[in-house]
A and B are shown apart, each in its own frame.
Chain A
Amino acid sequence: GAGVSQSPSNKVTEKGKDVELRCDPISGHTALYWYRQRLGQGLEFLIYFQGNSAPDKSGLPSDRFSAERTGESVSTLTIQRTQQEDSAVYLCASSLRGQGSGYTFGSGTRLTVV
């Protein structure tokens, strides 16, 4: 596609439920990233994929968070047993492999845990 597509754009879930967030990167972009942006704060790195492997998952906050990627395409971020502190905008970005490449961000999924 022309840009990075994320779905759903908004998700309200009850505390304790599991949620899945989806990211479709730009076609041909081998690198894919997930970030979290809490209200009024900066962006926190969660996980980085190169192809379907994840060389850096150092930002995942707990074992309730997991992510996978199919080939060089779609990625899903799963949050199990959601907590209120998980409420945030989850941003996905993709980039071409290489030095100095800019990243293209999706519009994000706004997750609200009630």
Chain B
Amino acid sequence: GDSVTQMEGPVTLSEEAFLTINCTYTATGYPSLFWYVQYPGEGLQLLLKATKADDKGSNKGFEATYRKETTSFHLEKGSVQVSDSAVYFCALSWGAQKLVFGQGTRLTINP
């Protein structure tokens, strides 16, 4: 079945560092891909998405590009802030079908 694999956490960085959180997927065809974020004490929020190959999703300085050749959707940010500390989930879906989530990556940014 379809699955999503994220880099294992937790990840700890200093403020202004470059961030990459790896995500790869296994699926037949080309699903839509998402990054969700869960800030401490808050609900899950959509961060960005891409619906077809080579699309780039972006939001709040974060970017991810849908790479069909490597079945990847890595999350990147050029300069992280303390406020980016959260748990990040990569996910895929087919149309209105269920989301399939990765296991989540806890990110901590130190001042």
The judgment on whether A and B are partners is: yes
Within 8 A of B (CB), among A30-77: 30-31, 33, 35, 41-43, 45, 48, 50, 56, 59
A105 touches B100 (CB 8 A): no
B51 touches A99 (CB 8 A): yes
Find chain A residues with CB under 8 A from B46 CB: 102-104
A-B CB contacts (within 8 Å), total count = 59
A111 beta carbon closer than 8 Å to chain B: no
B99 touches A91 (CB 8 A): no
Given known A-B contacts A42-B89, A97-B96, A103-B99, A91 and B44 have beta carbons under 8 A apart: yes
Measured CB to CB, the nearest residue on chain A to B4 is: A42
B43 touches A107 (CB 8 A): yes
Given known A-B contacts A42-B101, A42-B103, A100-B49, A95 and B96 have beta carbons under 8 A apart: yes
Query: How long is the Cα–Cα vector from A96 to B95 in the complex, in angstroms?
Result: 10
Given known A-B contacts A95-B96, A105-B44, A108-B43, A100 and B51 have beta carbons under 8 A apart: yes
Query: How long is the Cα–Cα vector from A105 to B39 in the complex, in angstroms?
Result: 13
Find chain A residues with CB under 8 A from B99 CB: 33, 35, 43, 45, 93, 103
- Which residue numbers of B lie inside 8 Å of A, CB to CB? 32, 34, 36, 42-46, 49, 51, 89, 93, 95-104
The 3 closest A-B pairs by CB, nearest first: A100-B51, A100-B32, A107-B43
- Which residue numbers of A lie inside 8 Å of B, CB to CB? 30-31, 33, 35, 41-43, 45, 48, 50, 56, 59, 91, 93, 95-108
Sample 6 A-B pairs with CB under 8 A, ordered by A number. A93-B44, A95-B96, A97-B95, A98-B95, A100-B95, A103-B93
